[in-house]
Amino acid sequence: MIDTLPVLAQTDLSSLDTFLQMLVGGLALGTIYALLAMGFVLIFKATQVINFAHGALVAIGAFFVAIVVLDFEIPGRWMPGAPEWLTWSLAAALGVVAGGLIGLLLERLFIRPMVGEPLFQIAILTVGLDIVLRTIVDDIAGLDGRPLADPWGIATARFGNVTIPHTQLVQFGVVLFLMIVVALFFRSRTGIAMRATAWDQEAARAQGIKVGRIFGISWFLGALLAGVAGVFASIFPRAAGVSSATAFVAFGAFPAIILGGLDSVVGAVVGGLIIGLAESAASIYLVQFSSVLGSGFSAIIGYVIMLLVLLIRPYGLFGTEEIRRV
Amino acid sequence: MLSVENLEVVYNDVVLVLRGISLEVPDGKIVALLGGNGAGKTTTLRAITGLLDVHEGDVTKGEIYLDGKRITHDDPSERVRMGISQVMEGRRVFAELTVEENLRAGAYTNRNGGKVKKAHDRVMTLFPRLKERRNATAGYLSGGEQQMLAIGRALMQEPRILILDEPSLGLAPLLVQEVRDIIVEINAQGTAVLLIEQNANMALSIAHHGYIMETGKMVMDGDPKRLLKDEDVKEFYLGLHAGGEKKSFRDVKHYKRRKRWLS
Ligand SMILES: Nc1ncnc2c1ncn2[C@@H]1O[C@H](COP(=O)(O)OP(=O)(O)OP(=O)(O)O)[C@@H](O)[C@H]1O
Ligand SMILES: [Mg+2]
For A194-248, what is each residue's pLDDT tens digit?
999 999 999 999 999 999 999 999 999 999 999 999 999 999 999 989 988 888 9
Cβ distance B157 to A207 less than 8 Å, yes or no, reads yes
Give me the pLDDT at residue B76, please.
97
* Residue A246 near residue A235 (C-beta atoms within 8 A): no
**With an 8 Å Cβ cutoff, are B76 and A203 in contact?**
no
Spatial distance between the Cα atoms of B33 and B224, rounded to a whole number of angstroms: 11
SS3 call for B199: coil
Q: How far apart are CA A15 and CA A18, in angstroms?
A: 5
B89: CA distance to ligand 2 center in Å? 6
Closest-CA residue, ligand 1 atom 3, reads B11
Q: Which residue has the higher pLDDT, B125 or B250?
A: B125
Sign, Cα dihedral of A32, A38, A43, A49: positive
Highest-pLDDT range among A41-45, A74-78, A237-241: A41-45
Q: Fill in the amino acid letter for A47.
A: T
**pLDDT, averaged across chain A:** 90
pLDDT value at B255 more than 50: no
Report the nearest atom of ligand 1 relative to the CA of B216. 14
Q: What is the arithmetic mean of pLDDT over A61-78?
A: 92
Chain B hits for A186, Cβ within 8 Å = none
Enumerate the β-bridge partners of residue B57: B11
Q: Which residues of A184-196 are buried (b: 16+ CB within 10 A; e: fewer)?
A: ebbeeeebbbbbb
Paired sense of beta strands B15-25 and B30-35, if any: unpaired
CB-based contact, A79 to chain B, within 8 Å: no
CB contact under 8 A, A203 and B97: no
Higher pLDDT, A57 or B258: A57
8 Å CB contact of A189 and B51: no
CA nearest B155: which of B106, B190, B121? B106
Give the confidence band of A299 by pLDDT, cuts at 50, 70, 90.
confident
* Window from A5-9, A48-52, B42-46, B244-248 with minimum mean pLDDT: B244-248
Instruction: Answer yes or no: are the C-beta atoms of B10 and B63 closer than 8 Å.
Output: no
Q: Do A189 and B88 touch (CB under 8 A)?
A: no
Report pLDDT for A245.
86
- Is the Cβ pair B51, A206 closer than 8 Å? yes
B244: pLDDT confidence band, cut at 50, 70 and 90? very low
Which residue of B17, B37, B59, B197 sits with most ligand 1 atoms within 8 Å of its CB, as the best mutation to test the pocket? B17
- Taking the C-alpha atoms of residue A197 and residue A210, their distance in angstroms, rounded to an integer, is 9
Three-class DSSP labels, chain A = CCCCCHHHHCCCCCCHHHHHHHHHHHHHHHHHHHHHHHHHHHHHHHHCCCCCCHHHHHHHHHHHHHHHHHHCCCCHHHCCCCCHHHHHHHHHHHHHHHHHHHHHHHHHHHHHHHCCCCHHHHHHHHHHHHHHHHHHHHHHHCCCCECCCCCCCCCEEEECCEEEEHHHHHHHHHHHHHHHHHHHHCCCHHHHHHHHHHHCHHHHHHCCCCHHHHHHHHHHHHHHHHHHHHHHHCCCCCCCCECCCHHHHHHHHHHHHHHHCCCCHHHHHHHHHHHHHHHHHHHHHCHHHHHHHCCCHHHHHHHHHHHHHHHHCCCCCCCCCCCCCC
Q: Which domains does chain B have, with CATH numbers?
A: 1-83+161-174+188-222 (3.40.50.300), 93-158 (no CATH), 230-263 (no CATH)
Our answer on whether the CB atom of B49 is closer than 6 Å to any ligand 1 atom is no
A7-11, A96-100, A261-265, B168-172: segment of lowest average pLDDT:
A7-11
Q: Residue B100: what pLDDT?
A: 98
Whether A115 contacts chain B with CB within 8 A: no
Best of A48, A112, A184, A192 to disrupt the B interface (most B CBs within 10 Å) is: A192
Q: What is the CA radius of gyration of chain B?
A: 18
pTM of the model: 0.90
The answer to whether the complex's ipTM is over 0.85 is yes
Q: Compute the distance from residue A36 Cα to the ligand 1 centre, in Å.
A: 42
Average pLDDT over residues A101-118: 94
Rounded to whole angstroms, the Cα distance separating A283 from A281 reads 5
Q: Which residues contact residue B157 at a Cβ distance below 8 angstroms, ignoring those fewer than 6 apart?
A: A207, A208, B80, B81, B83, B85, B106, B107, B108, B109, B110, B119
Question: What is the Cα–Cα distance from B245 to B113, expressed in whole angstroms?
Answer: 53
Contact B82, B66 (CB under 8 A): yes
| Average pLDDT over every residue of A144-160 | 91
pLDDT at B238: 60
Q: CA A172, A177, A178, A180 torsion: positive or negative?
A: positive
pLDDT tens-digit map of B6-27: 999 999 999 999 999 999 999 9
Dump pLDDT digits (tens) for A92-104: 999 999 999 999 9
- Please work out, in degrees rounded to the nearest 5, the angle formed at the alpha carbon of residue A272 by the alpha carbons of A40 and A243: 70
- Average pLDDT of the segment spanning A27-42: 96
Give pLDDT, residue B209. 97
The average pLDDT across A114-133 equals 93
pLDDT confidence bin for A186, thresholds 50/70/90: very high
Query: In chain A, whose CA is at the least distance from the CA of B52?
Result: A202
- Edge-to-edge, what's the strand order for the sheet holding B69-70? B15-25, B2-11, B57-66, B69-70
Comparing CA positions, the residue from A153, A31, A134 lying closest to residue A88 is A153
Do residues A125 and A111 touch, judged by C-beta distance below 8 A?
yes
Residue of A nearest to B110 (CA): A208
Mean pLDDT estimate for chain B: 90
- Please judge whether A195 and B97 are an interchain contact, meaning their C-beta atoms are less than 8 angstroms apart: yes
Instruction: Say yes or no to pLDDT of A7 above 90.
Output: no
CA neighbours within 13 Å on the CB side: how many for B251?
Answer: 7
Give the nearest ligand 1 atom to B198 CA: 25
Say if CB A236 and CB A67 are below 8 A apart. Answer: no
Segment A151-155 shows an average pLDDT of: 93
Nearest CA in chain B to A212: B77
User: Which residue in A has a C-alpha nearest to residue B78's C-alpha?
Assistant: A208
Mean pLDDT of B34-52: 96
So what's the pLDDT on residue A108?
A: 96
Is residue B256 scored above 90 in pLDDT? no
Domains, in order of start, for chain A: 16-312 (1.10.3470)
Is the per-residue pLDDT at A274 higher than 50? yes
Q: What values do phi and psi take at A173, rounded to 5?
A: -60, -45
Could you tell me the pLDDT band of residue A10, with boundaries at 50, 70 and 90? low
Residues of A with Cβ-Cβ distance to B85 under 8 angstroms:
206-208
Q: Could you tell me if the CB of B198 is within 6 A of ligand 1?
A: yes
Dist CA A117 CA A323 (whole Å) = 18
B2 versus A140: the higher-pLDDT residue is B2
Q: Which residue did the predictor score with more confidence, A114 or B255?
A: A114
CA separation for the pair A47, B101 (Å, rounded):
20
Determine the distance separating the centroid of ligand 2 and the alpha carbon of B38, expressed in angstroms.
Answer: 7
pLDDT at B252: 44
State the angle between helix axes of B173-188 and B113-126 in degrees (0 to 180), rounded to the nearest 10.
140
Nearest-CA distance A201 → chain B (Å): 10
**Between A and B, how many residue pairs show a Cβ–Cβ distance under 8 A?**
71
H or E segment at B193?
A: strand B192-197
Cα R_g (chain A), whole angstroms: 20
Q: Is pLDDT at B253 greater than 50 in this prediction?
A: no
Residue A296: band (very low, low, confident or very high) from pLDDT cuts 50, 70, 90: confident
At position A171, the amino acid (one-letter code) is: Q
> How far is A211 from chain B, CA to nearest CA, in Å?
10
Q: Whose CA is nearest to atom 12 of ligand 1?
A: B17
Residue of B nearest to A324 (CA): B95
Report the nearest-CA residue for atom 30 of ligand 1.
Answer: B38
pLDDT grade, residue B246 (50/70/90)? very low
**Nearest CB neighbour to A208, from listed B76, B95, B102:** B76
| pLDDT attached to residue A14 | 83
Q: Nearest ligand to the C-alpha of residue B237?
A: 1
User: B167 CB less than 6 Å from ligand 1?
Assistant: no
Q: pLDDT tens digits for B47-65?
A: 999 999 999 999 999 999 9
